[in-house]
């Protein structure tokens, strides 16, 4: 109830302003203002007294927490009301104890309203508790306090009378009745009333913990209010809030932040009365103000240049609530000029107030990174080959692209000549599109109007504000984009709805960033930031993240770079998307006779909603009418539209400084990728101390800061083949027209024979596959072609295990052979003495020919076939085409060209090469397992031990399987005989590779089947049996060779099983400090009722039960992945310190030919360092603490079992880890 005081504070300026006296002011009965002077005098005493009270509260807190938090607010209130009389103040603690005594009496005396009665009942139990706990303390003072309290309580009753809120009326009526009959108890009761409300407000989160629906609703309310804030419609926001506030059932959905958001929107207009009214509302439901509430009040005070007194009182109140003024600037996220306004308000009272200094940067203390972060060895950050001026231009280009949200580029097919038919189709399409644009605009207007009408008469349309965020044209643009990119096979409703919804969301976020002036600040900071990277500026000894943070801290003013969390709930996104989809289906029409003029002209829908049935469930699809698909394919349009985030960045990415900020300038990017609706990762990242994330952020920044360019000659060759029917052998998908079409028999399609239908079906399936592959290649090549003359960057983020990925989805270095072949480092380095040799070895690696030979032998082989290499480089398509026969033909071709250029240069060692040379881990998962278990045989077979020739684990397993097979064949096992001559490295490779990652027999069999199918000679009828047999033997073979590995895998699986069975999710922390949680829950689906179709949407929330099977099966592979990502990040960071260019494709590390040797050394060092940590012991300890901490009261059976399991870390073998340092083929 300290709110009363704050309101009193606010009422001053409101009256000065001369506007109508708001009703809330009435509550501050005249005595409040007349006694102002006395109050101020009493400040000192009051402060002291509050200290006493606080101490008392703490005392009580020790015994019972909920009761005290309820009463806490009363304490401050009482302190306030009794200002004039210090004597009374001394007694303040006692009223707190008072309710115990008079309650019983009051109950029987009068029952003024049902509300009060209900309240009483609810309170009774609680009351008894309070009674017991407080009776001791109360007994001493209760008597005299009762007497003292009398006059005050009367005053209060009077005050309440003037309230107009219905709730207050009840209180008044009640207290009057009570006061009349038994004045001594009134006082106590009144407070109990309020206290009870506090309880009520606190209860929902406890009682309805499991209600995920409620959470979604709360999130929706918040995002709707934020929409109004964005739209600058405080009236609407308040109306919306009131619609919840006025219903007791809905009211519990409102949190403090909901009220705060509305206050913020009023603060922006400087309406103090409205804010005080909201505070009053908050108080009436017993919500505690948060720091943000004060920020809103102060912003408003600052904006309206209020009186000293008002500000002073507000600040006083802030302190009373246990906050500090500095907290405002350290914890609140400000937008626009909010920070300045708050500061202005504060300076009215404290003219010399200075912003608190930014927190001093912390340094990560991980033992693995001591060297990396040590200040003594600090070196300057490597410079790019760009001047400040050039980088600024790059930034401007990137910014313009992101401001447009979409980028339209020429496809690589544009070089084809135009046929008259295509011309015609294009013109038809363009007229249709402009017509559709108009129709959509009209439909949107219409639906918005009807929503607005609905809003005025009854209830509230939830979608309306979301359809007002952007100009109508933009919504139409988004919808048209969907129509243009719809494939002829159609797309599922849910996918389209999500795409539409998230497109709107992304634009809204962009707009918000613009509105909050966040962009301006980013631009300013970025301008400073490029000085770290540009070649013509002073070297700075900072990491990108550190430098950025330093610049932000120096900037001081302005909006926060993080937006307040404003993500829309998934349900809402879908609902919005569905609404837009309905508009599309309704509005778009095409004349039926557009292709066949003989038909009568009639408009028919362009998009169809039909169902597709998959066994027992049905899926809604949206399909374009064949007429439209035909037009699109005839037109052969050559413009492609992408989201701006699908294009590589044209300037160095914004460094990651927190889980919310980094990568693109405007586009919203998550540090950690996750399944829609799973929030646990984000929560975990926010909760962990930020300094713990620094290594991960720095590693991502390092990967993202690698500049790239296009290998133009290779790109040109690829495009020429792409435009000339493609080539399946070279992995360039042919156009759909190349798929052989079955001849159609005469007659209508319904009379065809079954065989014919089957044939046609197969054709359609194949055509659909080819189409999607072709489109994928088209996107990749077109984007590559778009940036062919530029330098570009791939910002990175990671999955929940810490594996890193480039953000642009289509074209990136993680892609297939084709995309990798057209990428070059933008930075060039001389080859150095060994560079050319490395290029040659790299080439032989790419051919896949000499896997069992030593490096020296590979190099010799390369020299032997130099003629072929040069021929391939010089006449790639007309020569002997040696490169086409290799494993990775396009990369091999690119490498041939590089070798040719280098070897023909006068001094190969000085030749500047941009070519990335790869070093691959050999079965990296098994390497980590073998190192974890110090498994001697295992370590040998995956090259952890120095050896003259590389060991090949796949061949070893294949050999083992072959031995098993021979034995079985001799014993007359039919399938073993059939398999004679088919067991090879290639057949077993995928299964062996994935065994580490938890492939099951089922999955393994499918892999085998696939491999066997690829062998043409293999008899088809034995496929099932043979694959079944093989997978069994592969598992046996692995068990034989890797004993410790299996133990560890088993230990991990069992631990995860027990953890999941106890109802918890498996969590751990990587050696680099990244917290990880496995996001597998039993999902619950909620049905979304839309006009067109009911959609079943899977929903996740934090208190859902884990999916035991997934938690268990996925833990070993996820854990190993978290280790390989750690190894990669460590290597990346130490490579940075050595000034190397470094990027990775998971367990394949890339650098310049010059620096391969250094990278190899660092890679081995870091592997040894990583595994020298007690990884399994640390894991066991972490999990014991997390899942079996002694603090827990239950000692259930499962817990004992879990404890036993977790403490029983598998024993390790006696492999000497240091040997890795000398192993040539560890990564090669």
Partner 1 sequence: MLAGQAAPGAAGCRRLLAAALAAGLRRLLCSLPPCSASARRVVGQWPSPGLRVPEAAEAERLVQQLQRARPPLRRFIACPQLARTVQRCLQGGASPGPQPVLLECAPGPGVLTRTLLNAGVRVVALESNSAFLPNLQSLENSLDGQLKVIYGDFFRLDPLVTGTVKPPALSSDKLFESMGVAAVPWRADVPVKVFGILPQVRERNKLWRLLFALYECSSIYRCGRVELNIFISEKEYKVLTSKPGEAKAYQALTVLWQVGCEIQLLHKEPWSSFVTNMKSRGLAVQKTKWLPNDHLCLVRLTPHQNLFTGSLKPTNSATFIFMVKQCLAKPRSKLTDRLSSWSLDNGGKLLRELEIPQNAETRDLYPEDYRRLFEALQNSSEFAETWFNDEVMESIRNINL
Residues engaged in binding partner 1 (CB under 8 A): 592, 602-605, 608-616, 618, 623, 625-626, 748-752, 757, 760-761, 764, 1020-1021, 1093-1094
Residue 243, CA distances (Å) to 203, 230, 238, 357, 459 in order = 21, 20, 8, 42, 8
Which residue lies nearer to partner 1 by CB, 239 or 764?
764
Which residue lies nearer to partner 1 by CB, 757 or 1218?
757
What is Dmax (Cα atoms) for the chain? Answer: 112
The least distance separating partner 1 from the CB of residue 737, rounded to whole angstroms, comes to: 18
Q: Beginning with the edge strand found earlier in the chain, give each strand of the sheet holding 617-624 in spatial order.
A: 491-492, 617-624, 607-614
The least distance separating partner 1 from the CB of residue 601, rounded to whole angstroms, comes to: 12
Distance CA 542, CA 1142 (A): 18
3-class state of residue 114 by DSSP: helix
Which residue lies nearer to partner 1 by CB, 43 or 603?
603
Residue 356 DSSP symbol: P
Could you give the count of Cα atoms lying within 13 Å of 483 in the half-sphere of its Cβ? 31
Catalytic annotation present for 968:
no
The least distance separating partner 1 from the CB of residue 986, rounded to whole angstroms, comes to: 24
Query: What six digits make up the tokens of 890?
Result: 């396009």
Residue for token pair 């290649």: 777
Which residue lies nearer to partner 1 by CB, 605 or 830?
605
The least distance separating partner 1 from the CB of residue 459, rounded to whole angstroms, comes to: 23
Contacts 24+ apart (CB under 8 A), 1211-1215: 1211/1044, 1211/1047, 1212/932, 1212/933, 1212/934, 1212/935, 1212/1044, 1212/1176, 1213/933, 1213/934, 1213/935, 1213/936, 1213/1044, 1214/934, 1214/936, 1215/930, 1215/931, 1215/934, 1215/935, 1215/936, 1215/939, 1215/944, 1215/945
Residue 605 DSSP symbol: E
3-class state of residue 66 by DSSP: helix
Q: Quickly count: other Cβ atoms within 10 Å of residue 915's Cβ.
A: 25
Which residue lies nearer to partner 1 by CB, 670 or 756?
756
Q: Residue 657: which H helix or E strand, with range?
A: strand 654-658
The least distance separating partner 1 from the CB of residue 371, rounded to whole angstroms, comes to: 59
**How would you classify residue 333: left for phi > 0, otherwise alpha for psi between -120 and 50, otherwise beta?**
beta
Which residue lies nearer to partner 1 by CB, 29 or 752?
752
Residues 6+ away with beta carbon under 8 Å from 901 = 873, 911
Query: What six digits make up the tokens of 902?
Result: 């280098």
The least distance separating partner 1 from the CB of residue 629, rounded to whole angstroms, comes to: 9
Q: Which of 1139, 1124, 1126 is nearest to 1227 (CA)?
A: 1124
**How would you classify residue 286: left for phi > 0, otherwise alpha for psi between -120 and 50, otherwise beta?**
left
Q: Residue 663: which H helix or E strand, with range?
A: strand 661-663
The least distance separating partner 1 from the CB of residue 751, rounded to whole angstroms, comes to: 5
The least distance separating partner 1 from the CB of residue 1092, rounded to whole angstroms, comes to: 9
Residue 829, CA distances (Å) to 273, 670, 912, 913, 1145 in order = 67, 33, 5, 5, 21
Contact 1226, 1164 (CB under 8 A): yes
Distance CA 937, CA 1040 (A): 10
The least distance separating partner 1 from the CB of residue 602, rounded to whole angstroms, comes to: 7
Query: What six digits make up the tokens of 819?
Result: 């995309």
Which residue lies nearer to partner 1 by CB, 183 or 489?
489
Distance CA 647, CA 653 (A): 13
Which residue lies nearer to partner 1 by CB, 616 or 1189?
616
Residue 608 DSSP symbol: E
Pick the catalytic residue from 85, 731, 920, 1157.
Answer: 920
Distance CA 429, CA 465 (A): 33
The least distance separating partner 1 from the CB of residue 592, rounded to whole angstroms, comes to: 7
Which residue lies nearer to partner 1 by CB, 421 or 618?
618
Q: Dihedrals φ, ψ of 823, to 5°?
A: -105, 140
Handedness of CA 934, 940, 942, 944 (dihedral sign): positive
Pick the catalytic residue from 623, 851, 989, 1057.
Answer: 989
The least distance separating partner 1 from the CB of residue 760, rounded to whole angstroms, comes to: 7
Pairing of strands 829-830, 912-913: antiparallel
Distance CA 1048, CA 1054 (A): 10
Which residue lies nearer to partner 1 by CB, 431 or 749?
749
The least distance separating partner 1 from the CB of residue 1090, rounded to whole angstroms, comes to: 11
Catalytic annotation present for 920:
yes
Catalytic annotation present for 989:
yes
Query: What six digits make up the tokens of 1006?
Result: 């499918």
Pairing of strands 804-806, 796-798: antiparallel
Which residue lies nearer to partner 1 by CB, 764 or 1201?
764
Q: Which of 975, 970, 844, 822 is nearest to 899 (CA)?
A: 844
Which residue lies nearer to partner 1 by CB, 557 or 608?
608
Which residue lies nearer to partner 1 by CB, 206 or 602?
602
The least distance separating partner 1 from the CB of residue 1012, rounded to whole angstroms, comes to: 14
Active site residues: 920, 989, 1147
């Amino acid at each position: 109830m300290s709110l009363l005081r704050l309101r009193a504070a606010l009422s001053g300026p409101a009256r000065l302003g001369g506007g109508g006296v708001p009703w809330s002011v009435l509550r501050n009965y005249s005595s409040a203002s007349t006694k102002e002077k006395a109050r101020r005098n009493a400040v000192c005493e009051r402060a002291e007294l509050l200290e006493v009270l606080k101490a008392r509260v703490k005392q009580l807190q020790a015994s019972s927490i909920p009761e005290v938090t309820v009463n806490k607010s009363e304490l401050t209130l009482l302190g306030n009301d009794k200002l004039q009389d210090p004597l009374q103040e001394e007694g303040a603690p006692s009223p707190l104890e008072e309710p115990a005594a008079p309650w019983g009496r009051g109950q029987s005396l009068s029952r003024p309203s049902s509300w009060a009665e209900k309240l009483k009942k609810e309170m009774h139990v609680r009351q008894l508790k309070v009674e017991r706990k407080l009776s001791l303390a109360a007994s001493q003072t209760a008597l005299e306090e009762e007497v003292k309290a009398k006059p005050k309580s009367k005053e209060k009753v009077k005050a309440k009378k003037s309230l107009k809120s219905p709730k207050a009326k009840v209180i008044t009526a009640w207290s009057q009745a009570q006061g009349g009959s038994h004045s001594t108890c009134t006082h106590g009761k009144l407070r109990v009333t309020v206290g009870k409300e506090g309880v009520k407000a606190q209860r929902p989160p406890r009682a309805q913990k499991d209600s995920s629906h409620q959470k979604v609703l709360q999130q929706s309310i918040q995002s709707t209010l934020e929409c109004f804030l964005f739209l600058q419609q405080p009236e609407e926001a308040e109306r919306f809030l009131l619609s919840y506030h006025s219903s007791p059932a809905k009211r519990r959905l409102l949190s403090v932040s909901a009220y705060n958001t509305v206050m913020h929107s009023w603060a922006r207009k400087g309406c103090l009365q409205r804010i005080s009214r909201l505070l009053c509302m908050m108080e009436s439901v017993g919500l505690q103000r948060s720091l943000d509430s004060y920020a809103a009040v102060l912003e408003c005070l600052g904006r309206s240049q209020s009186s000293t007194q008002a500000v002073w009182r507000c600040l006083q109140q802030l302190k009373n609530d246990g906050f500090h003024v500095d907290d405002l600037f350290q914890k609140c996220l400000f937008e626009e000029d909010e920070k300045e306004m708050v500061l202005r308000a504060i300076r009215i009272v404290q003219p010399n107030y200075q912003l608190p200094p930014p927190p001093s940067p912390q340094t990560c203390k991980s033992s693995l990174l001591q060297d990396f972060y040590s200040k003594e060895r600090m070196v300057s950050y490597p410079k790019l080959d760009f001047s400040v001026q050039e980088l600024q231009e790059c930034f401007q280009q990137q910014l313009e692209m992101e401001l447009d949200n979409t980028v339209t580029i020429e496809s690589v097919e544009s070089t084809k000549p135009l046929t008259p038919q295509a011309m015609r189709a294009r013109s038809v399409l363009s007229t249709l599109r402009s017509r559709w644009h108009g129709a959509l605009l009209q439909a949107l207007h219409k639906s918005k109007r009807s929503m607005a009408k609905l809003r005025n008469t009854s209830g509230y349309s939830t979608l309306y504000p979301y359809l007002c965020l952007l100009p109508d044209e933009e919504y139409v643009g988004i919808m048209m984009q969907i129509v243009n990119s719809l494939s002829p096979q159609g797309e599922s409703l849910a996918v389209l709805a999500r795409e539409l919804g998230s497109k709107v969301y992304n634009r809204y976020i962009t707009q918000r960033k613009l509105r909050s002036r966040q962009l301006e600040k980013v631009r300013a900071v970025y301008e400073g930031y490029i000085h770290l990277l540009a070649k013509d500026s002073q070297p700075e000894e900072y990491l990108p993240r550190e430098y950025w943070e330093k610049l932000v801290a120096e900037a001081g003013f302005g909006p926060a770079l993080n937006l307040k969390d404003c993500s829309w709930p998934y349900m809402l996104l879908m609902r919005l998307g569905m609404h837009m989809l309905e508009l599309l289906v309704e509005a778009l029409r095409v004349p039926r006779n557009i292709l066949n003029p003989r038909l009568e002209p009639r408009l028919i829908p362009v998009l169809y909603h039909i169902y597709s049935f998959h066994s027992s469930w049905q899926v809604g699809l949206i399909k374009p009418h064949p007429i439209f698909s035909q037009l699109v394919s005839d037109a052969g349009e050559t413009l492609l539209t992408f989201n701006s985030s699908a294009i590589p960045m044209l300037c160095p990415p914004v460094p990651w400084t927190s889980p919310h900020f980094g990568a693109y300038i405007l586009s919203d990017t998550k540090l950690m990728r996750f399944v829609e609706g799973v929030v646990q990762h984000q929560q975990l990242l926010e909760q962990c101390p930020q300094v713990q994330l620094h290594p991960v952020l720095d590693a991502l920044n390092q990967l993202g800061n690698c500049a790239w360019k296009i290998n133009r000659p290779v790109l040109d060759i690829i495009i020429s083949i792409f435009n000339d029917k493609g080539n399946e052998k070279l992995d360039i998908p042919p156009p759909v027209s190349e798929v052989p079409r079955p001849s159609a028999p005469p007659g209508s399609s319904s009379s065809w024979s079954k065989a014919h239908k089957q044939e046609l079906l197969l054709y359609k399936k194949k055509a659909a596959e080819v189409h999607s592959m072709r489109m994928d290649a088209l996107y990749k090549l077109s984007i590559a072609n778009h940036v062919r003359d530029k330098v570009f960057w791939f910002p990175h983020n990671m999955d929940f295990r810490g594996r890193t990925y480039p953000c642009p989805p289509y074209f990136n270095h993680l892609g297939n052979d084709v995309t990798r072949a057209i990428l070059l480092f933008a930075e060039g380095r001389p080859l150095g003495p060994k560079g050319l040799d490395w290029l040659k070895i790299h080439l032989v690696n790419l051919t896949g020919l000499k896997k069992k030979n030593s490096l020296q032998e590979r190099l010799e082989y390369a020299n032997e076939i130099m003629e072929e290499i040069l021929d391939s480089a010089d006449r790639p398509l007309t020569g002997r085409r040696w490169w086409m026969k290799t494993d990775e033909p396009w990369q091999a071709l690119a490498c041939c060209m590089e070798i040719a250029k280098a070897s023909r240069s006068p001094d190969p060692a000085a030749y500047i090469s941009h070519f990335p040379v790869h070093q691959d881990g050999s079965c990296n998962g098994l390497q980590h397992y073998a190192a974890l278990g110090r498994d001697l045989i295992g370590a040998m077979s995956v090259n952890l031990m120095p050896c003259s020739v590389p060991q090949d684990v796949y061949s070893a397993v294949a050999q083992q399987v072959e031995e098993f097979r021979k034995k079985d064949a001799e014993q007359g096992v039919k399938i073993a005989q059939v398999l004679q001559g088919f067991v090879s490295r290639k057949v077993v490779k995928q299964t062996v590779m994935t065994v580490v990652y938890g492939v099951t027999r089922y999955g393994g069999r499918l892999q085998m089947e696939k491999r066997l199918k690829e062998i043409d000679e293999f008899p088809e009828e034995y496929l099932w049996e043979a694959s079944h047999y093989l997978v069994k033997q592969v598992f046996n073979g692995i068990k034989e060779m890797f004993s410790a590995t299996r133990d560890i895998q088993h230990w991990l699986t069992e631990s995860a099983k027990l953890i999941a069975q106890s109802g918890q999710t498996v969590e751990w922390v990587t050696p680099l400090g990244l917290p990880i949680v496995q996001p597998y829950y039993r999902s619950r689906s909620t049905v979304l009722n839309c006009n067109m179709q009911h959609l079943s949407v899977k929903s996740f929330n934090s208190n859902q039960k884990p999916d035991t099977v997934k938690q268990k099966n996925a833990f070993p592979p996820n854990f190993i992945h978290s280790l390989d990502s750690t190894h990669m990040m460590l290597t990346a960071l130490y490579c940075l310190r050595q000034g190397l260019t470094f990027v990775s494709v998971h367990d394949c590390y890339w650098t310049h030919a010059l620096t391969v040797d250094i990278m190899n050394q660092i890679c081995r060092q870091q592997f040894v360092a990583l595994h020298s940590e007690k990884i399994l012991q640390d894991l066991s300890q972490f999990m014991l603490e997390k899942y079996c901490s002694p603090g827990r009261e239950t000692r259930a059976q499962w817990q004992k079992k879990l404890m036993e399991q977790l403490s029983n870390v598998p024993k390790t073998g006696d492999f000497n880890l240091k040997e890795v340092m000398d192993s040539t083929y560890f990564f090669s």
